Amino acid sequence: MPNLIPGDSCRFLISPVPSVVIPAEAEGVSDLPPLAFYDGGAPVRLADWTALARPTMCVLDGPGDVGVLIPTISEQGQLAERTEWADAVAGAGGVLVLQAPAELMDTHLFELVSRADVRGGFVPHIA
């Protein structure tokens, strides 16, 4: 059974790459490795993880019993924005999942990916 992460504690980014930033203290994603990149600059794909992104929820399913469910809409008026995010994830074939300390949640994506204390990687999307 996946752990529930409140959607209002996460960030859903479309540009420059579809991403979800989750708080470091979130349960269910403790197995995420430190963020790493291939020589070509693409984030390393997380082995045994899959993502299902929809406008109203996102499921990140990891190895064994590891995984999380994130409601993507936390307040009225977000449906169009989250639909665009889910479409971007599907179009990119996956989502960059980042797990960051609470004080970094509002940090720009480019700064997040350069920090040693950020965990995560690319998670392929399943249709």
Residue type present at position 2: P
**pLDDT at site 19:** 96
**pLDDT at site 90:** 97
- Dihedrals phi, psi of 53, to nearest 5 degrees: -110, 125
Nearest to 124 by CA among 60, 70, 50, 52: 50
Average pLDDT per block of 10 residues along the chain, 127 residues long: 87 94 84 88 92 96 90 92 97 96 90 91 93
Chain-centroid distance, C-alpha 63: 16
Helix (H, G, I), strand (E, B) or coil at 39: coil
pTM value? 0.93
Q: Which two tokens stand for residue 24?
A: 């470091």
Inter-CA distances, 84 with 3, 22, 78, 79, Å: 25, 19, 10, 9
Residue with tokens 């990119």: 92
* Helix locations, the chain, DSSP H: 79-92, 109-112
